[in-house]
């Protein structure tokens, strides 16, 4: 039994579990333990999906974070940085062990992760219990910066509430009165539909939701629900799907001839990352997200160029989130001269951070969730092109978070 | 719901059911005749879809993908039978489950190495790209109708071969009483090999045909595997006709379940399965104990 684990893990059972996991990692970890904290490199633990459905997202977040560190000469806040990687495989059941491995055995100074909301919530719990600094570079579960918020937890990506919210106004202003929503029946889908509904009701336009359609997650047999939409004949449809499901939905919707008659709207995840596979079927779809492929600002241009040079790949919203995670950490470390032990001062600096991100200016709310512009985009020629700012500097309401009082 | 919507939903259900039949027929053949539980059946469905994407992207022809995909699946089936599966005949189900589960992992890794993890789409053949206006708002892709016709043709071919040919007679005799058939001098090792390969081809064929309407992506095999087993158990293990009935029931139940009982749509088909099994514990046309 090693002493590292005992400090943070209260029961005998979890010590055993943690130690087994830690032993497994010990074989592959390329980094030696730092002898003394001061002077040694700052240890950043990536807990990201390097395999499985979200592997590409994990890779982009990882690469962009490293890109930022390289641009600062391999340092953040003037201190050398070393990385430890753990593949979370997007498996919530392994999340607690993986997180304990980074915090207990590897003794990282900060954890960056992850994509999957279920995994992220388990990470949030460990981070709260062990007071570990955690930066979430994607997972959108509202709870992470809501009821579960904590001083040591930051999110640089979005809450599910954020990208869906402005769509109510967008669709009401487009003159749509009767709207149907469709998504998977799981937390992210439900939170986005709820947020959209909230905004739609606030517009006072009289626009209403005729029917909310749900599909078991992650089913992709949409045909009967698409027929249902044709029967209901709403003015427009609001949707949230992602990955393979999004591609199939967009193609089925177009193939059923609905796209020209009943315009399709959604959060940006509907068309981001898989737009190539969607082809012409996606043209004309309007979505809201905190990024657009052709955002015309110097930071975005420089970022896309540097990312392309480093990876030979086109950067996207996930890469931007990874890049900004590094920027946020840099601001915190700079304020304390690289001494991650001066936690309170570091957190105060991160809370007050103003970052000139590729997605536009961002800052942080009291609940430590990112405050950002949400853009309206339209798919044109296989790109999510910028149309307008749907909502400037949108902050998550952080319901249930005591920090935001 | 008016009559037109009802008819369209019925069409959706039947079309979905026919695709399920195409995939599940291979599973029930292998199950019924070889007595082998092939958990990797869904992986061959995914393999078919990825082959459709890969060959179409290189040759520009969906027909090349259809022929090439079937040929590759057939050869893979023959090889797997020779190297692995023939050692499983007569062994208990645990050994079969272990081997075929291992095959899932290996096939998925090969898929990852060869094709990566991106989402792909496959264009339908040129002359099937149109759509038919069904109602004022809704149109129906011709390709979906073509799938119905194709699946019906495959079903007819399977029935003809099993009921009307000498090979079919041997297969039926083998399913009925293997030892007696062998005693009559039938070379079962050869028959087994081809039955297994045909089972794999049917799974891959399902993947190829569905590729243009169902996007090609990692994990697409999971759902199909579960549904195939539901169809096979519902219809009666080893019965191709039972699989046809089971598949159509599942397809229609799923379609209407999503619209009429959206809150319960995730288990409509399982409730149906439970109800049918209470009524006929061996499946609708099943004679063998499950």
Q: What is the 3-state secondary structure (H, E, C) of A322-383?
A: HHHHHHHHHHHHHHCCCCCCCHHHHHHHHHCCCEEECCEEEEECCCCEEEEEEEEEEEECCE
Residue A399 in domain: no
pLDDT tens, residue by residue, A252-302:
999 999 999 999 999 999 999 889 889 999 999 999 999 998 999 999 999
What pLDDT score does B172 carry?
A: 83
Distance from CA of A247 to the nearest CA of B (A): 7
Confidence of residue B288 (pLDDT cuts 50, 70, 90): low
Same domain, A278 and A149: no
B138:A227 CB<8 A: yes
Residues of B in contact with A247 (CB under 8 A): 119, 121, 215, 217
Distance from CA of A180 to the nearest CA of B (A): 14
Residue A272 contacts residue A244 (beta carbons within 8 Å): no
Task: Say if residue A71 is exposed, middle or buried (CB neighbours under 10 Å; 0-12, 13-18, 19+).
Answer: middle
Same domain, A319 and A361: yes
Residues of A in contact with B259 (CB under 8 A): 224-225, 227-228
Residue A386 in domain: no
Distance from CA of A248 to the nearest CA of B (A): 5
What pLDDT score does A387 carry?
A: 96
Between A67 and A56, the higher pLDDT residue: A67
B138:A279 CB<8 A: no
Query: Domain span at residue A178?
Result: 162-289
The pLDDT of residue A44 is above 80: yes
Same domain, A129 and A263: no
Look at residue A179 and give its three-state secondary structure: strand
The pLDDT of residue A19 is above 50: no
B139:A243 CB<8 A: no
What pLDDT score does B2 carry?
A: 83
Same domain, A152 and A170: no
CA distance B154 to B159: 9
Residue A134 in domain: yes
What's the mean pLDDT in A33-46?
72
Confidence of residue A89 (pLDDT cuts 50, 70, 90): confident
CA distance A92 to A48: 12
Q: Please tell me which of the candidates A224, A233, A277 has its beta carbon nearest to residue B215.
A: A277
Domain B3-279 falls under CATH 3.30.390: no
pLDDT tens, residue by residue, B105-132:
999 999 989 988 788 999 999 899 888 9
Distance from CA of A136 to the nearest CA of B (A): 23
What pLDDT score does A76 carry?
A: 95
Domain assignments of chain B as residue spans, ordered by start: 3-279
Same domain, A32 and A176: no
Q: Please tell me which of the candidates A55, A231, A251 has its beta carbon nearest to residue B121.
A: A251
CA distance A303 to A294: 12
Residue A400 in domain: no
Last residue of a domain, which of A260, A289, A318? A289
A230:B137 CB<8 A: yes
Say how many CB pairs under 8 Å bridge A and B: 106
CA distance A198 to A265: 16
Residue A249 in domain: yes
Do strands A79-87 and A383-394 pair parallel, antiparallel, or not at all (unpaired)?
unpaired
Q: Nearest chain A Cα to B122, which residue?
A: A277
What pLDDT score does B167 carry?
A: 87
Q: Nearest chain B Cα to A218, which residue?
A: B223
- Reference A153, options A205, A99, A216; nearest CA is A99
Same domain, A259 and A308: no
The backbone torsions φ and ψ at residue A265, rounded to the nearest 5 degrees and listed phi first, read -120, 165
Same domain, A36 and A146: yes
Phi and psi based region of residue A143 (left: phi greater than 0; alpha: psi -120 to 50; beta: remaining)? alpha
CA angle A192/A214/A52 to nearest 5° reads 70
B265:A214 CB<8 A: yes
CA angle A74/A75/A79 to nearest 5° reads 140
pLDDT tens, residue by residue, B142-163:
999 999 999 999 999 999 998 9
The pLDDT of residue B3 is above 80: yes
As a whole number, the mean pLDDT across chain A is 89
Same domain, A308 and A345: yes
The pLDDT of residue B9 is above 80: yes
A224:B258 CB<8 A: yes
Q: Which residues pair with B216 in a beta bridge?
A: B120
Share of chain B above pLDDT 70, in %: 99
The pLDDT of residue B32 is above 60: yes
Same domain, A33 and A101: yes
**Number of structural domains, chain A?**
2
- Reference A141, options A116, A163, A123, A164; nearest CA is A116
Could you give the count of Cα atoms lying within 13 Å of A273 in the half-sphere of its Cβ? 25
Q: Nearest chain B Cα to A220, which residue?
A: B214
Q: Nearest chain B Cα to A54, which residue?
A: B117
Q: Nearest chain B Cα to A224, which residue?
A: B255
Q: Nearest chain A Cα to B130, which residue?
A: A255
Confidence of residue B176 (pLDDT cuts 50, 70, 90): confident
pLDDT tens, residue by residue, A93-136:
999 999 999 999 999 999 998 999 999 999 999 999 999 999 99
Asked if omega into A325 is within 30° of 0 (cis), the reply is no
- Which residues of A sit within 8 Å Cβ distance of B? 52-53, 55-56, 185, 213-216, 218-221, 223-228, 230-231, 233, 243-244, 247-248, 251-252, 255-258, 261-262, 274, 277-279
A243:B119 CB<8 A: yes
CA distance A293 to A380: 11
Residue A76, H or E segment? strand A75-76
What pLDDT score does B1 carry?
A: 64
Last residue of a domain, which of A289, A307, A336? A289
Distance from CA of A224 to the nearest CA of B (A): 5
B121:A243 CB<8 A: no
Same domain, A19 and A143: yes
B138:A257 CB<8 A: yes
Phi and psi based region of residue A202 (left: phi greater than 0; alpha: psi -120 to 50; beta: remaining)? alpha
Between A386 and B260, the higher pLDDT residue: A386
Task: Say if residue A353 is exposed, middle or buried (CB neighbours under 10 Å; 0-12, 13-18, 19+).
Answer: buried
Locate the DSSP E strands across chain B: 131-133, 139-141
Residue A381 in domain: no
The pLDDT of residue B102 is above 50: yes
Residues of A in contact with B217 (CB under 8 A): 243-244, 247
Confidence of residue B88 (pLDDT cuts 50, 70, 90): confident
| DSSP 8-state secondary structure symbol assigned to residue A141 | -
Q: Nearest chain A Cα to B267, which residue?
A: A216
The alpha helices in A219-316, defined as continuous H runs, are: 223-232, 243-255, 275-278, 298-311
The pLDDT of residue B261 is above 90: no
For residue A187, what is the domain's CATH number? 3.40.50.2300
The backbone torsions φ and ψ at residue A131, rounded to the nearest 5 degrees and listed phi first, read 55, 45
Residue A387 in domain: no
């Amino acid at each position: 039994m090693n002493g590292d684990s005992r400090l943070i893990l209260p029961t005998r059972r979890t010590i055993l579990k943690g130690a087994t996991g830690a032993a497994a990692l010990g074989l592959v970890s390329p980094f030696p333990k730092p002898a003394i904290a001061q002077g040694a490199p700052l240890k950043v633990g990536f807990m990201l999906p390097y395999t499985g459905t979200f592997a590409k997202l994990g890779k982009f977040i990882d690469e962009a974070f490293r890109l930022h560190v390289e641009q600062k000469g391999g340092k953040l806040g003037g201190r050398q940085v070393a990385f430890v990687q753990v593949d979370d495989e997007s498996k919530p059941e392994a999340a607690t062990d993986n997180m304990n491995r980074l915090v207990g055995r590897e003794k990282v100074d900060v954890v960056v992760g992850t994509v999957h909301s279920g995994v992220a919530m388990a990470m949030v719990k460990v981070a709260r219990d062990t007071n570990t600094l955690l930066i979430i570079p994607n997972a959108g579960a509202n709870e992470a910066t809501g009821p579960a918020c904590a001083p040591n937890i930051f999110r640089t990506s979005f809450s599910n509430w954020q990208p869906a919210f402005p769509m109510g106004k967008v669709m009401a202003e487009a003159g749509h009165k009767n709207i149907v929503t469709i998504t998977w029946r799981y937390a992210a889908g439900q939170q986005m539909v709820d947020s959209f509904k909230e905004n739609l009701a606030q517009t006072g336009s009289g626009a209403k939701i005729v029917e909310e359609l749900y599909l078991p997650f992650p089913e992709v047999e949409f045909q009967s629900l698409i027929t249902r939409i044709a029967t209901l004949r709403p003015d427009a449809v609001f949707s949230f799907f992602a990955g393979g499901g999004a591609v199939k939905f967009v193609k089925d919707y177009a193939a059923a001839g609905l796209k020209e008659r009943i315009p399709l709207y959604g959060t940006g995840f509907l068309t981001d990352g898989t737009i190539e596979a969607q082809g012409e079927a996606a043209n004309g779809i309007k979505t809201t997200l905190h990024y657009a492929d052709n955002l015309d600002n110097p930071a975005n241009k420089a970022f896309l160029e540097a990312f392309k040079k480093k990876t030979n790949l086109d950067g996207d919203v996930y890469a931007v989130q990874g890049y900004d995670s590094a920027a946020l950490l840099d601001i915190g470390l700079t304020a304390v001269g690289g001494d991650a032990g001066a936690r309170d001062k570091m957190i105060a600096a991160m809370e007050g951070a103003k970052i000139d991100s590729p997605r536009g200016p961002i800052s942080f709310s009291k609940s430590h969730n990112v405050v950002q512009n949400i853009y309206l985009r339209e798919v044109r020629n296989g790109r999510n092109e910028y149309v307008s700012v749907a909502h400037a500097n949108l902050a998550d309401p952080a319901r249930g978070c005591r920090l935001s009082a | 719901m008016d009559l037109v919507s009802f008819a369209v939903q019925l069409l959706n259900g039947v079309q979905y059911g026919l695709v399920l039949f195409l995939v599940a027929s291979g599973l029930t053949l292998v199950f019924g005749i070889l007595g082998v539980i092939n958990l990797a059946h869904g992986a061959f469905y995914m393999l078919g879809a990825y082959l459709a994407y890969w060959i179409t992207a290189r040759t520009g022809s969906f027909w090349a993908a259809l022929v090439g995909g079937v040929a590759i699946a057939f050869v893979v089936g023959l090889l797997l039978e020779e190297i692995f599966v023939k050692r499983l005949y007569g062994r208990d189900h645990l050994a079969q489950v272990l081997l075929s589960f291992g095959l899932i992992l290996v096939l998925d890794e090969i898929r990852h190495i060869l094709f990566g993890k991106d989402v792909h789409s496959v264009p339908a053949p040129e002359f099937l790209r149109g759509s038919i206006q069904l109602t004022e708002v809704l149109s129906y892709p011709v390709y979906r109708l073509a799938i119905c016709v194709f699946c019906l043709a495959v079903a007819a071919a399977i029935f003809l071969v099993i009921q009307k040919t000498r090979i079919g007679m041997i297969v039926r005799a083998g399913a009925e009483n293997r030892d007696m058939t062998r005693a009559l001098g039938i070379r079962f090792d050869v028959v087994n090999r081809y039955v297994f390969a045909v089972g794999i081809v049917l799974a891959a064929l399902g993947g190829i045909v569905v590729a243009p309407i169902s996007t090609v992506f990692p994990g697409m095999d999971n759902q199909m595997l579960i549904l195939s087993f539901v169809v096979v158990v519902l219809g009666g293990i080893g019965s191709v006709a039972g699989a046809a009935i089971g598949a159509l029931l599942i397809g229609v139940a799923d379609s209407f379940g999503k619209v009429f009982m959206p809150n319960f749509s995730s288990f409509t088909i399982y409730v149906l399965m439970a109800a049918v099994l209470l009524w006929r514990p061996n499946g609708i046309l099943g004679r063998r104990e499950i």
